[in-house]
Amino acid sequence: MKGILYGTMTLELGGQITIACEKTGYSAQLEFKLKPFLGSSDCVNQISGKIKLGKEVLATLEGHWDSEIFINDKKTGTVDTFWDPTPELRQNRLTRYTVPPEEQGEFESERLWQHVTRAINNKDQTEATNEKFILEEAQRKAARERKAKCEEWVSALFEQDPITGEWHYRYADTRPWDPLNDLIQFEKDGCIQTKVQHCTPMVRSGSLISLSNQGPRRDNCKCQVTVPKRKHKSDKPKSPESGCSSPEPDRHDSSGSERHKSKHNSRLRKKGADLTELQSAIESIKQTQEDINRSITVLRSRTVSQAESSSFLQQRDYVVIAFLIILQVLINYIFK
């Protein structure tokens, strides 16, 4: 309609957007306004918005998204410049890095909409509309063909939440940013990845028992290494003054063996305490299971008794109804 009245079709941004922070409760509501039929050139690319904390409006925004935007503080009433894209600021924009279209996938947005983008850059709205229609019609045709073949479209980079129905990025990295270890984020084959300085090792175990047994195994390995050394030290030559055939015992080795026995006994006591705690936990679990089974049995018996009582009431109702019918027939026969 605007193209008929104005002669040349124009491209505008229109709609509303809301940005909310669940952690702090702050939110921002922005509205991109379309140019009215009787509006002047100042009404193009207008924007308005509100900054809120809960339901309280803290400030309002007014202006044009391609020029100046002003913010009005509701508490103080002051109006300041919120956004002003000056030529110096535009020159400091970040460099945009894109993948060449010939290296992109068949359904990547930039390659898929390249003809529409070229027409928009050439300010040819008619050609852009035609290319957009061709692209959307091809997508509708493909959707009809999949429906006829009972095929379901499987997204490569997004997945749908079965509860809310919302679409989420499949490879989203939701962990907090670590400034000490994380370097940069980059995209590869559609997947957002993070380059880190050091890969954090992950230690996993199948059960708690396997973790508790790692300590004794280490100690046993130490014992296997130290015991041969003690035997080697004890093999001393016979004393010429001694008449016995066996070597004279070493006091140092005997004290070492005693310390070894005491450590081994302490480990055994600790292991026995762990086993006792484990057995007590198992017994408590068994007791809980028995209580649950008893509760289920009681519920089943109550259910059966209620079913029998309900069936009994139904049979009694049938008997009463039959008796009333017979009584009515007899009364009719007598007073006929």
- Whether pLDDT at 276 is above 70: yes
Find the range with the poorest average confidence among 26-40, 205-219, 292-306: 205-219
- Mean pLDDT on 212-229: 42
Q: How far is the C-alpha of 270 from the C-alpha of 273, rounded, in Å?
A: 5
- Model confidence at 8, pLDDT cuts 50, 70, 90, reads low
Place of tokens 């913010």: 71
Cβ-based neighbours of 144, under 8 Å, separated by 6 or more: none
- Mean pLDDT on 7-23: 82
Ramachandran bin of 15, using left for φ above 0, alpha for ψ from -120 to 50, beta for the remaining angles = left
- Whether pLDDT at 183 is above 50: yes
pLDDT tens digits, one per residue of 239-255: 444 443 444 444 444 44
Cβ-based neighbours of 17, under 8 Å, separated by 6 or more: 29, 30, 32
CB atoms within 10 A of CB 280: 10
- Whether pLDDT at 79 is above 90: yes
Q: How far is the C-alpha of 256 from the C-alpha of 234, rounded, in Å?
A: 12
Q: How far is the C-alpha of 158 from the C-alpha of 168, rounded, in Å?
A: 5
Give the strand pairing for 46-53 and 56-64.
antiparallel
- Whether pLDDT at 17 is above 90: yes
Place of tokens 């992109």: 104
Question: Which pLDDT does position 253 carry in this prediction?
Answer: 45
Cβ-based neighbours of 45, under 8 Å, separated by 6 or more: 12, 13, 32, 64, 65, 66, 67
Question: Which pLDDT does position 309 carry in this prediction?
Answer: 61
Average pLDDT, the chain: 76
Question: Which pLDDT does position 231 carry in this prediction?
Answer: 43
- Whether pLDDT at 219 is above 70: no
Question: Which pLDDT does position 30 carry in this prediction?
Answer: 94
Question: Which pLDDT does position 307 carry in this prediction?
Answer: 64
For 230-245, give the DSSP string: HHHHH-PPPPTT--SS
Q: How far is the C-alpha of 133 from the C-alpha of 111, rounded, in Å?
A: 16
Give the strand pairing for 158-160 and 26-33.
unpaired
- Whether pLDDT at 226 is above 60: no
pLDDT tens digits, one per residue of 146-164: 999 999 888 888 898 889 9
Question: Which pLDDT does position 135 carry in this prediction?
Answer: 93
- Whether pLDDT at 28 is above 90: yes
Which comes out higher in pLDDT, residue 266 or 123? 123
- Model confidence at 134, pLDDT cuts 50, 70, 90, reads very high
User: Residue 78 has what DSSP assignment?
Assistant: -
Q: How far is the C-alpha of 313 from the C-alpha of 290, rounded, in Å?
A: 35
Find the range with the poorest average confidence among 21-30, 153-162, 210-219: 210-219
Cβ(197)–Cβ(211) under 8 Å? no
